[in-house]
Amino acid sequence: MHSLRSEHMSKRLYWAMSIIILCLLLICIPLIVSSSQKFQHSVKTYNEIKVLEHVADLANKISRERAPANKIMSSSIEDFEKHRKELADYRRGVDQQLEQTQLILKNAGFNTLSAQISHTLIPTLAHARQDVDVYAALPRTERSAEKLDQSILSMFEAWQSSRQVLKGVVIESEIPSTKLSNFVSQILLLSDLRDQAGRVASNVMAHVTFGTVLPETNLTRSLQTQHQVLYLWDLIETIQPIQDKTPEFIQLHDEIKTQFIDQGLPLVSGLIEDSLQHRPYRLTGTQLTEAMVDKFATVIDLQTYLLEYSHDLAYQDVQKNLKDLLWTVIISLISLTMAIVTMFSARRSLFLPLITAREMLFDLSESTDRNKSVNPQGVRENPDSLFAAIQKLEHSLQQRDALEFRLKNIAHSDSLTGLSNRFALEEYIRFLEGHPSKLSKTCLMMIDIDHFKQVNDQHGHIIGDHVIQSVADCLKSNVRTSDMIVRYGGDEFLILIENIDMNNALTIAHKIRKEVKAETILDADGQHIPFSVSIGVAIGAESWVRLFEAADEGLFKAKAKGRNAVAEG
């Protein structure tokens, strides 16, 4: 029966362990999944920022291709070959960037945008280049400002196709961070600013090259573009958070203001003013291109800085989320391991011993209650439950404790007087020596019955025992129950009192002496038997031996006074 119950308890323990471990798993797994998702999102954001860098660089290179294209279309015969080679080299770089960006978009999952480069951007760019090459191949006598302007507008279309790809990356990117979203928006705006800045000069390039008056269309386009540049410039400064306006950002921002806004736009405005005043242009088309190229570079520098800054932020986010994921996994594994180890350790060190103890309790309760558990038919009954077994054992232990208490009292008590004996005194002495502060405040009275041998010799031991009992009763009646009274010898007694001064101790001693003297004990003939005590009193000492010697010295002084006296040791 007991083994079946123990097996049932073991099964319940395993179920409890399994439930606790399952609860830990239900806590740890969602935490790990959440941390893993955050890490994956941050990695995806980091990769999308890298894609954005490549696409922005591609858009800027396509926009900048207008500069060498404008040079070859507006160059002199002497510089034509140099500008043709410069344009060819630049185009090769753009083509390489196109291939790399297309592959990067495809690997990053932007399949639609990768296809858009093949189906839209590359054909549009090829058509624009063809227009540039056709114009550059025209005899100079067949060239005109209108044809040059048309070729320039074709390059605008090529950049517009690249911008659609850049815009698609911004739209399709899942960037959760508001800060990074702001940077992505600024990068797109800076690409627009770079292109619009180029258009400011390109809109007047054709007619400046030929020295003809700007048509109303070109003039309108140029003025609209300048307004668009100023609008984008204000917008970029506005959306940059104050905390992200680092010294580098402020420096690059000021360079755009100084070199492009304050110098580049007035240069184009001056050419427009020359056209309106019908005076010769202050610059040629090639000079205008060369003058404006360096000023556009400041916009690219700021865009590059923002790309690198957002790249660093995204990388920091990846590292932070990776660290959080690792800590979550480590802590979860440690928690689960500790839980499993704790459970098995508790089973081995706690529950199994408890089950064993339970069996022992049943066995003990049955063995200690064997006689009582036999019914009239002689059939032994098992305890109903563990609690019943514990109650029976508790009852047995109480009986044993009572027996031990009685035996201990017998061992530590004097059989004649009921006072403590030397065994009890020895225990108390060990206690005092372990607490020197108590010993220094303890009073010891040493009491001796005067001429007790004569009482025994004249009246017999029975009368002597009555005298001893009478003295013991007087001692009990004059001290507290917490004070210790010891029958030290045949007719010698000790009283130990804690925390008492000498005056009060002497008062108690004199009272005992008087009460003993007043006691009445009659002999067989009805005659009064006189007896008295001498008492030595001492308080505090560095050791028990010194205290005992001081009390003994007081007793000697009391006897020297003629007995029936009290003396201080």
Name the residue among 58, 66, 138 with its Cα closest to residue 101.
58
Looking at the fold, whether 314 and 436 belong to one and the same domain comes out as no
Predicted confidence (pLDDT) per residue in 89-109, tens digit: 999 999 999 999 999 999 988
Cα 109–Cα 115–Cα 116 angle in degrees, nearest 5: 115
Other C-beta atoms closer than 10 Å to the C-beta of 146 total 13
Name the residue among 520, 519, 517 with its Cα closest to residue 535.
517
Instruction: Tell me what the mean pLDDT of segment 280-290 comes to.
Output: 85
Name the residue among 223, 220, 237, 245 with its Cα closest to residue 299.
237
Predicted confidence (pLDDT) per residue in 479-491, tens digit: 998 899 999 988 9
Tokens of 558: 């009391």
Within 8 A by CB and 6+ apart from 414, the residues are: 420, 421, 487
For 525-552, b/e burial (b = at least 16 CB within 10 A) is: eeeebebbbbbbbbbebeebeebbebbb
Looking at the fold, whether 52 and 185 belong to one and the same domain comes out as yes
pLDDT exceeds cutoff 80 at 14: no
Name the residue among 265, 271, 297, 269 with its Cα closest to residue 284.
271
Looking at the fold, whether 320 and 435 belong to one and the same domain comes out as no
Confirm whether 388 is domain-assigned. no
Tokens of 41: 């999102």
Instruction: Tell me what the mean pLDDT of segment 255-274 comes to.
Output: 86
CA count, 13 A, side-chain hemisphere, 53: 17
CA count, 13 A, side-chain hemisphere, 458: 13
Looking at the fold, whether 321 and 440 belong to one and the same domain comes out as no
Secondary structure (3-state) at 489: coil
Give the dihedral of Cα atoms 152, 156, 157, 158; nearest 10 deg: 100
Cα dihedral sign for 73, 75, 77, 82?
negative
Domain final position from 297, 332, 367: 332
Burial category of 172 from C-beta neighbours within 10 Å (exposed 0-12, middle 13-18, buried 19 and up): middle
Pick from 444-453, 519-528, 553-562: least confident: 519-528
Tokens of 295: 């000023």
Residue 377 is predicted with a pLDDT of 47
Looking at the fold, whether 199 and 312 belong to one and the same domain comes out as yes
Confirm whether 517 is domain-assigned. yes
For 122-138, b/e burial (b = at least 16 CB within 10 A) is: bebbeebbebbeebbee
The more confident residue out of 46 and 473 is 473
Other C-beta atoms closer than 10 Å to the C-beta of 156 total 17
Tokens of 509: 């001693």
Predicted confidence (pLDDT) per residue in 208-262, tens digit: 888 899 999 888 888 888 888 888 888 877 777 777 778 888 888 888 888 888 8
CA distances from 486 to 420, 426, 513 (A): 5, 11, 17
pLDDT band, very low/low/confident/very high, at 449 (cuts 50, 70, 90): very high
Looking at the fold, whether 325 and 427 belong to one and the same domain comes out as no
Residue 153 is predicted with a pLDDT of 85
Looking at the fold, whether 437 and 309 belong to one and the same domain comes out as no
**Residue 553 belongs to domain with CATH number:** 3.30.70.270
Instruction: Tell me what the mean pLDDT of segment 5-28 comes to.
Output: 76
Tokens of 527: 């005659």
Looking at the fold, whether 108 and 227 belong to one and the same domain comes out as yes
Confirm whether 339 is domain-assigned. no
Cα 72–Cα 74–Cα 78 angle in degrees, nearest 5: 70
> Using alpha carbons only, how large is the chain's radius of gyration in Å?
56
The more confident residue out of 407 and 271 is 271
CB of 315 closer than 8 Å to CB of 45: no
DSSP structure class, residue 289 = H
Measured N-to-C along each axis, helices 66-74 and 122-137 cross at an angle, to the nearest 10 degrees, of: 20
Residue 315 is predicted with a pLDDT of 87
The more confident residue out of 299 and 536 is 536
The more confident residue out of 417 and 303 is 417
Confirm whether 93 is domain-assigned. yes
Predicted confidence (pLDDT) per residue in 507-542, tens digit: 999 999 999 999 989 887 888 899 999 999 999 998
Q: Could you list the residue range(s) of the whole structural domain that residue 424 is in? A: 416-568
Secondary structure (3-state) at 488: coil
Confirm whether 352 is domain-assigned. no
Residue 327 is predicted with a pLDDT of 93
Other C-beta atoms closer than 10 Å to the C-beta of 28 total 17
Confirm whether 459 is domain-assigned. yes
The more confident residue out of 330 and 233 is 330
CA distances from 446 to 92, 217, 386, 496, 547 (A): 122, 133, 55, 9, 11
Pick from 36-40, 118-122, 167-171, 196-200: least confident: 196-200
Confirm whether 389 is domain-assigned. no
Domain final position from 332, 351, 384: 332
Q: What is the pTM of this model?
A: 0.53
Alpha carbon distance 449, 477 (integer Å): 17
CB of 175 closer than 8 Å to CB of 313: no
CB of 268 closer than 8 Å to CB of 219: no
Burial category of 244 from C-beta neighbours within 10 Å (exposed 0-12, middle 13-18, buried 19 and up): middle
Within 8 A by CB and 6+ apart from 377, the residues are: none
Measured N-to-C along each axis, helices 285-346 and 247-255 cross at an angle, to the nearest 10 degrees, of: 160
Domain final position from 304, 332, 360: 332
pLDDT exceeds cutoff 80 at 206: yes
Looking at the fold, whether 427 and 303 belong to one and the same domain comes out as no
Looking at the fold, whether 208 and 322 belong to one and the same domain comes out as yes
Confirm whether 395 is domain-assigned. no
pLDDT band, very low/low/confident/very high, at 376 (cuts 50, 70, 90): very low
Alpha helices in 413-539 (DSSP H): 422-434, 436-439, 452-459, 461-478, 502-518
Predicted confidence (pLDDT) per residue in 140-175, tens digit: 888 898 888 888 888 888 888 988 988 888 888 766
DSSP structure class, residue 243 = G
Residue 566 is predicted with a pLDDT of 96
Alpha carbon distance 493, 516 (integer Å): 13
Looking at the fold, whether 328 and 421 belong to one and the same domain comes out as no
Pick from 75-84, 466-475, 560-569: least confident: 75-84
Predicted confidence (pLDDT) per residue in 50-75, tens digit: 888 888 889 888 888 888 888 888 88
Residue 492 is predicted with a pLDDT of 94
Looking at the fold, whether 221 and 76 belong to one and the same domain comes out as yes
pLDDT band, very low/low/confident/very high, at 355 (cuts 50, 70, 90): low
Give the pairing type, strands 492-498 and 566-568: unpaired
Within 8 A by CB and 6+ apart from 417, the residues are: 468, 469, 472, 487
Question: How many domains, the chain?
Answer: 2
